[in-house]
């Protein structure tokens, strides 16, 4: 059975949230779980659940990385943190993947340091999944692993995103777009213009430039950008959704008629929220690392953790990393050691 | 009376939309209007309105720039287009500002070519106004005039945004933020990290890095970024709003109860839409050009044109360009000729 390590200390609601999600995942999916963190706190939280017969074990890690820790410091110094221990388990002890809702920068830096990057890949990319109007999710990457990118990084992100989309969402020929500021081939900044030329040559279904407004339409499956732009885009989407919801709520409370209307429509609102609910999508895979690493939002709930474990297991089952290595070799993409 | 040229041929609904907006503006504000475009079509559209006593004149321009024209070509070749004629009127004939809902790239290139940049400014910046949860709008710039920026460009954008916010929105000490991927001073890409250092030194109310999710909260008045990031952010916001509205509508049509609820709450939905309605905000000023230039969305309605004319008039009344020149001099910001 595939074994996934879960950082129990990472999220704002940890370890309770992680443990609830892990227990659900162990019960629902064919996966065994190693909870990593302060053992006494984990054991205490586990007592709230019936775990009889579930493949769950606990491994102690004394240190906790906080949101205030810098990524570099957390990676280099906090060697007994739950993230370090989980990554070492993955490197040394036959564990296939890990899930963490901790400090994203620290998780990425630690995973890179302990597990390393796949031999063919220059830079790992953090990917996320966004809901679209057509129901099918779209993958956006990089959303924050690399703030300054070179064109060939975007090329590699595109190929990894393509594999992700095929393996996890079963899309046969994912439409891959380059996030830019106009659909014409010539539009973009220096980075995207050069990346465009590279992507034209790669044997993927590259559909050209896409704009911010296209992301949610559902006409593109994989959207590629540098980590700065992607991170801004991701956080902007979150902020805008919150602003929308709050403004709409304010208006719906202003009159009795609107209040009654809102009650009658509450199921529709619930369905609507559900469609936009990030917790259904199972976190952000860090692609290109030796070992499957899924990063979750710091404010994850148990459902988000459960789904991230499901995604980690699917990544293992489809052997996404081997697919990346063989696809890179097939396409003749080689690591540009020294010039990254 | 302040005289504003209106490109009558630019929008998707032109010239009808422009003329309706111009007639409303001439009736409501103390402003006289010069409609520029194909005279026979403008005269025909004017016949649908009662313009008795309104200070509206028409100047002929035979050529029309389309959305398919490249910016450079339109600027260099289509010398008898409505945008060219409007810009020349501004340069030569005592007209203070112009409003166009045409091809944004072509309007910017033409304005730069014919009018030129203010002597102190390196690069003009396209700015836009976004609604926030607290009701007060936030200014975002650059949203597309400069896809590749240097740190000192962002510094200049910040100062121009600060002046815009004070002059047009009457904010005494605008909070200026740098769009980045974390609030800590050290977060960002090479560009924003260097810009951060510059902005720390300028005598404006620089509040540091802000993230995508902060834009709509209403805690920052001016948000500075390069034109690529800003353009992606702007189009993403538009796309997300459309996706949001369409998904909500779908859900509200699914059951009878939700349909009745939606009818009872329709006033609230209307108010909600109104709060997010870009047409209230009056277009995107191109800051740093000799002569006031306001660019409107290609899908503008008459209300958007009317409000853009109002904003152009306010820019003239507050002599924003003179304020930019004197503020740059006061702050010791000089044009870096040759290294832009």
DSSP output for B86-109:
HHHHHHHSS--EEEE-S-HHHHHH
The residue of chain B with its CA nearest to that of A212 is B236
Tokens of A118: 């796949």
Largest CA distance in chain B: 66
Query: Which residues of chain A does B68 touch, with a Cβ-Cβ cutoff of 8 Å?
Result: none
**Structure tokens given for A316:** 């293992």
Domain range enclosing B95? 2-122+288-319
Question: Is the peptide bond preceding residue B142 cis, with omega within 30 degrees of 0?
Answer: yes
* Of A92, A72, A99, A91, the residue nearest A9 (C-alpha): A99
For A32-85, write each residue's pLDDT tens digit.
999 999 999 999 999 999 999 999 999 999 998 888 888 888 888 899 999 999
Task: Give the minimum alpha-carbon distance from B70 to chain A in angstroms, rounded to a whole number.
Answer: 10
Considering chain A, what percentage of its residues have pLDDT values greater than 70?
97
Name the helix (H) or strand (E) containing A237: helix A227-252
User: Is residue A332 included in any domain, yes or no?
Assistant: no
| B57 in a structural domain | yes
What the block records as the tokens of A148 is 């300054």
Q: A137 vs A21, which has greater pLDDT?
A: A21
Residue B315, domain CATH: 3.40.718.10
Mutate to test the interface with A, among B193, B232, B256, B297 (most CBs of A within 10 A): B232
Residue B227 resides in a domain:
yes
CA distance A109 to chain B (A): 15
Q: Per-residue pLDDT averaged across A116-143, rounded?
A: 92
pLDDT mean over A120-138:
90
Within 13 Å, how many C-alpha atoms sit on residue A71's CB side?
A: 17
Do A308 and A226 have their domain in common? no
Q: Is the separation of the CB atoms in A241 and B240 below 8 Å?
A: yes
What average pLDDT does range A168-191 have in this prediction? Answer: 93
Collect contacts of A70-73 with beta carbons under 8 A, ≥24 apart: A70/A105, A70/A106, A70/B186, A71/A103, A71/A105, A71/A106, A71/A108, A71/A109, A72/A109
Q: What pLDDT band is residue A109 in, cutting at 50, 70 and 90?
A: very high
The proportion of chain A whose per-residue pLDDT surpasses 90, expressed as a percent, equals 68
Is A337 among the domain residues?
Answer: no
Q: Both B102 and B146 in a single domain?
A: no
CA of B91 vs chain A CAs: smallest distance (Å): 30
- The reply to whether B118 and B158 lie within a common domain is no
What confidence tens digit (pLDDT) does each residue in A212-235 have? Answer: 889 889 999 999 999 999 999 999
Q: What three-state secondary structure class fits B318?
A: coil
Burial of B233 (0-12, 13-18, 19+ CB in 10 A): buried
Best of A191, A231, A232 to disrupt the B interface (most B CBs within 10 Å) is: A232
- Asked, for residue A334, whether it belongs to a domain, the answer is no
Q: Is residue A331 part of a domain?
A: no
**B112 and B134 co-located in one domain:** no
Task: Write down the ipTM of this complex.
Answer: 0.89
Say yes or no for a CB contact (<8 Å) between B262 and A261. yes
Q: Does residue B52 belong to any structural domain of this protein?
A: yes
How far, in Å, CA of B263 to CA of A226, rounded? 44
pLDDT tens digits, residue range A242-274? Answer: 888 888 888 888 888 888 888 887 887 777 777
- Residue B339 has a pLDDT of 47
Closest CA of chain A from B49, distance in Å: 35
Report the pLDDT value the prediction gives residue A276, as an integer from 0 to 100.
67
Give how far Cα A11 sits from Cα of A19, A36, A37, A141, A301, Å.
11, 13, 12, 22, 9
Statement to judge: residues B258 and B141 lie in one domain: yes
A129 and A271 housed in the same domain:
yes
CA distance B157 to A308: 41
> How many angstroms separate the CA atoms of A175 and A331, rounded?
17
Among A167-171, A321-325, B244-248, where is mean pLDDT lowest? Answer: B244-248
Of B204, B228, B229, residue with least CA distance to B215: B229
Residues B208 and B135 placed together within one structural domain of the fold: yes
Question: Is there a single domain that holds both residue B40 and residue B153?
Answer: no
Q: Tens place of pLDDT for every residue, chain B, 340 residues?
A: 999 999 999 888 889 999 999 999 999 999 999 999 999 999 999 999 999 999 999 999 999 888 888 888 888 889 999 999 999 999 999 899 999 999 899 999 999 999 999 999 999 999 999 888 888 889 999 999 999 999 999 999 999 999 999 999 999 999 999 999 988 888 899 999 999 999 999 999 999 999 988 988 999 999 999 999 999 999 998 888 888 888 888 888 888 888 888 888 788 777 777 776 666 677 899 999 999 999 998 889 999 999 999 999 999 999 999 999 999 999 888 777 544 4
Number of domains in chain B: 2
Do A190 and A256 fall within a single domain?
yes
- Inter-helix orientation angle A190-201/A151-169, to 10°: 50
Residues A271, A158 within the same domain: yes
Q: Are residue A95 and residue A141 in the same domain, yes or no?
A: no
**A104 and A24 co-located in one domain:** yes
Q: How many CB atoms lie within 10 A of CB B200?
A: 11
Q: What is the pLDDT of residue A337?
A: 54
Cα separation, B273 vs A247, whole angstroms: 10
Interface contact A215-B237, CB threshold 8 A = no
* B337: in domain: no
Give the whole-angstrom CA distance, residue B320 versus residue B291: 10
Contact B42/B58 with Cβ under 8 angstroms? yes
**B211, B236, B272 ranked by CB distance to A247: nearest:** B272
Q: What is the pLDDT of residue A340?
A: 45
pLDDT higher for B322 or A240?
Answer: B322
pLDDT for res B337: 55
**Preceding omega of A315 cis (within 30 degrees of 0):** no
Mutate to test the interface with A, among B183, B238, B258 (most CBs of A within 10 A): B258
At residue A240, the pLDDT reads 85
Whole-Å CA distances, B335 to B124, B222, B328, B340: 12, 22, 9, 9
What mean pLDDT comes out for the span A296-305?
91
The single residue listed with the structure tokens 């660019």 is B295
């Amino acid at each position: 059975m595939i074994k996934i390590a879960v950082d129990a200390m990472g999220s704002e609601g940890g370890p309770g949230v992680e443990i609830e999600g892990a227990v659900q995942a162990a019960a629902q999916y064919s996966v065994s779980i190693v909870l990593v963190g302060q053992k006494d706190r984990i054991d205490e939280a586990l007592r709230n659940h019936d775990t009889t017969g579930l493949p769950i074990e606990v491994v102690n890690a004394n240190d906790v990385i906080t949101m205030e820790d810098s990524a570099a410091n957390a990676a280099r110094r906090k060697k007994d943190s739950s993230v370090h221990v989980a990554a070492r388990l993955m490197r040394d002890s036959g564990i296939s993947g890990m899930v963490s809702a901790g400090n994203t920068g620290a998780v990425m830096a630690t995973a890179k340091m302990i597990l390393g990057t796949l031999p063919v890949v220059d830079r790992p990319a953090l990917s996320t999944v966004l809901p679209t109007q057509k129901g099918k999710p779209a993958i956006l990457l990089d959303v924050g692993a690399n703030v300054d990118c070179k064109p060939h990084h975007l090329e590699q992100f595109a190929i990894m995103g393509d594999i992700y989309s095929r393996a996890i969402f079963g899309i046969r020929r994912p439409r891959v777009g380059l996030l830019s500021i106009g659909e014409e081939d010539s539009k973009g900044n220096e980075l995207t213009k050069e990346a465009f030329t590279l992507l034209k040559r790669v044997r993927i279904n590259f559909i050209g430039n896409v704009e911010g407004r296209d992301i949610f339409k559902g006409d593109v499956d994989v959207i590629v950008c540098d980590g700065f732009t992607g991170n801004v885009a991701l956080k902007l989407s979150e902020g805008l959704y919150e602003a929308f919801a709050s403004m709409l709520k304010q208006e719906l409370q202003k009159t009795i008629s609107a209040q009654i209307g809102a009650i009658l429509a509450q199921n529709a609102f619930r369905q609507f929220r559900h469609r936009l609910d990030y917790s259904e999508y199972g976190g952000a895979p860090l692609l290109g690392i030796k070992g499957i690493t899924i990063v979750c939002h710091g404010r994850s709930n148990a459902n988000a953790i459960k789904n991230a474990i499901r995604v980690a297991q699917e990544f293992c089952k489809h052997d996404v990393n081997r697919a990346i290595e063989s696809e890179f070799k097939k396409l003749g993409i080689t690591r540009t050691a020294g010039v990254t």
